[in-house]
Structure 1
Amino acid sequence: MKARKKVTFTALAASAIMALSGCATPASSPSGSEAKGLDKLPIRLNWTFEAADHPWFFAGMVEGIYAKHGIELQPQEGTGSASTLQLVASGSDPVGLVDAGTMMGGVGKGLPVKSACVLAQRNPMSAIFPAGAGISSIRDLAGKTVAVTPGDSLSQIFPAVLAKNGMSKDDVKLVGLSDPAAKQNSVLTGASDAFLGYYTLQLPAVEQSSGKDMDYLSFSKLGVDTLSMAIVTNTSWASQNKELLDRFIKATQESVDFVVANPAKAADHFVKGVPRFDRELALKQIEATIPLLHTKATEGKPACVTEESDWKETQKILVENTGLQEKPLDLYYTNEHAQ
């Protein structure tokens, strides 16, 4: 059944689909005397700074929350969860933001990584398409062309969605496009029938930039409601830097609390860090992202803290639909830094 919940933004959205390739680190990163005496901590994001669904880091830097905890946070752009996971596993980056399902697949392959915090605990992944495309169920995608970004979290999880609904990758025509804007444009021009994206981010951005009504099929409503965006560490680095990791997670929790209480200020802080981004669009995306912070099992708990039952359900979905081998759940995550 189609999951339809329109998200209407009044902002110009052209900046939302513009890759900010010239912005390797945000403009608000402290430097020089501001950073004196702080522990530098790079964090590799899952993607570029083109969407405001990770406002906690930018707000925490501008508000001085990370500095208060002795940290100079250095967000770095990524090219998808799979590549970020590899960088963390290799030790090139100590910390990364990675889709939880993608991380679990990596753990299954022996990668030395573990989640220290899950920020987005509900999943906004979806297949997005023009409202008049005649698509009202997953079965309507059979034989149609779906644009994906190879290696990102959506492409990793989509096979599970198909399998959960009695389909396989052979039932759809997947076309890989490395540029997210190209993925979206391929649908707008009719080259593809649908693309994979977040209904909280890409759907409203495309509606505003194109003037066309869009619709979507939510992965969660199609039976694949997995934990979403996790802060993942290299296990060797984490064991050698426990005190720094404790401070980082505590600062991130405080930053989340600030964003939840002050979404408008968080939007201001985000565009201070990413000046080319549209401020009103940032606010709308932040407001759409905040409801993803908790599952029913974690409502009322601090940000980052996860429940075993949610990991168990996520693993069950992946075992049944992607070939993931079942592992002890404590290999995937720890709450010790978030308590």
Structure 2
Amino acid sequence: MCFLIVLLSTIFATVVADPLYTACSTEYGNYDLGSPFEKNLKVVVETLPSISSSTGFNNTASGIFPDNVSGQALCRGDVTSSACQTCLREASQKLLKECKSKDATIWYEACQIRYSFQNLTSLNVYAGKYPVLESEKKSVSDTVHFYDYVKLLMDNLSIDAALNHSKLMFATGEIKFSSNETIYGHAQCTRDIREDECQECLSFALLDLKGCCSSKQGGIIVSGSCNLRFELYKYYNASSHLIASPTPKGRGNWKMVAIIVSITTISVLTIVIGSSIFCLRRKRRNYRDMERNHLALLNELAISRGITLTEEGQLVSSEDLPFMDLNTIIAATDNFADSNKLGQGGFGTVYKVSYKGASR
């Protein structure tokens, strides 16, 4: 029972805490008290909590030009409908009290309300804000590697939020930074913008997040159409999913890359070496086969002519004809000298030889 009271108190405190940021635009001037614009404004901001709590998002409008007012409400994707309504009611009252301008937005941790004399569904101009309290957060020791992890997480969440309409353009996730530190984050867009507009808005927000909070243990960027946040604690209630993407540079991913490259290199070398050995063996086998076929042919011819062959295929003797080796012939013809040349026959040049002192 005590635990339930503490839990409800924590949730209630988060929902009705002070606003993160209030932007009362002075660019278009203020409205007059008691004017038709103020009456339409009250209708819009008082209607938004009830019509938006069940879905977490809605647009509404009241009045005609030049006193028309457009309004928009958005709750964080993980809060309940009752918590959403409580947050929006607090935001609407605070906005009416603090802003007298014709264009204003207020952001809480769990919700935001925006109104303007312009049509909000046609406004896609990014104007990100970050609360002052973000600059007061503690710094991390490893600033370079830490933000690599933050960016990896936010890039994945931004894509998930923009492309997955089943999640109502809201995504949460986490990534392990060290053995005892996990980074949690979320990305969200209003549901009246396109996928590409959502991604563009979140990319601008990520740049602002780097500028304000890259070395901090947490950070948040809010705007009219999208918002980003990360912390070293789980601040949202939705069931999160671990971003199973490659580890950012400077960490264990290089070890994994080295292992993969090594395995790939060894595999390629094994294939190349194996193929080379196979080809060489095949060449040698073909050569041996040709050599054996050649010797077989010589043996066949030699037997039919009564010729004796050595194992190497050299002619030794014949029953019909005497044989001389090449060295003997060279000596007998005086190395085929022109003076011993007798003429040209059908089988080649004919030489005179001297054999054992006798000319032939």
TM-score, normalization by structure 1 = 0.24
TM-score, normalization by structure 2 = 0.23
More strand by share: 2
Query: Which of the pair has more CA radius of gyration?
Result: 2
